[in-house]
Amino acid sequence: ALMITDECINCDVCEPECPNQAISMGADYYQIDPARCTECVGHFDEPQCVQVCPVACIPVNPAHVETREGLMAKYLRLQQAG
Ligand code: SF4
Ligand code: SF4
């Protein structure tokens, strides 16, 4: 999963681009739910939030480093859950 750092300027452009509804407003800036972020695996070749973020504040979450296979399995679980 990816994460949003405190460099986020709350510009709102990433939230609607996420195919997994993983992005929401947090207490001070936007946040990513690691249970819903597949790094866009299953939907797109590149993470859509990273593509649109104007300040490049969306790195891999060091607490949630995942393999491509693991991310694909998460994508399939999310699809089944609807
Ligand atoms: Fe959503 Fe993709 Fe960004 Fe993860 S990488 S938060 S799935 S847009
Ligand atoms: Fe924050 Fe980047 Fe998302 Fe804008 S695109 S709300 S700066 S994480």
Residue 63 pLDDT: 98
**Token duo for residue 10:** 């709350």
Task: Give ligand 1 pocket residues (Cβ under 6 A).
Answer: 2, 17-18, 20, 22-23, 32, 37-40, 47-49
Q: What is the per-residue pLDDT across 22-64, written as a single tens digit (0 to 9) for each?
A: 999 999 999 999 999 999 999 999 999 999 999 999 999 999 9
Q: What angle do CA 43, 47, 49 make, to 5 degrees?
A: 115
Where are the domains positioned within the chain? 15-81
Give the number of the atom of ligand 2 that is nearest the alpha carbon of residue 53: 5
Distance, in Å, from the CA atom of 32 to the CA atom of 20, rounded to the nearest integer, reads 10
Task: Give ligand 2 pocket residues (Cβ under 6 A).
Answer: 4, 8-14, 30, 52-53, 55, 57-58
Confidence of residue 80 (pLDDT cuts 50, 70, 90): very high
Mean pLDDT of 65-75: 98
Q: Could you give the percent of the chain with pLDDT greater than 90?
A: 98
Give the number of the atom of ligand 1 that is nearest the alpha carbon of residue 23: 6
Selecting from 3.30.460.40, 3.30.70.20, 3.10.450.50, 3.40.630.40, what CATH number does the domain 15-81 have? Answer: 3.30.70.20
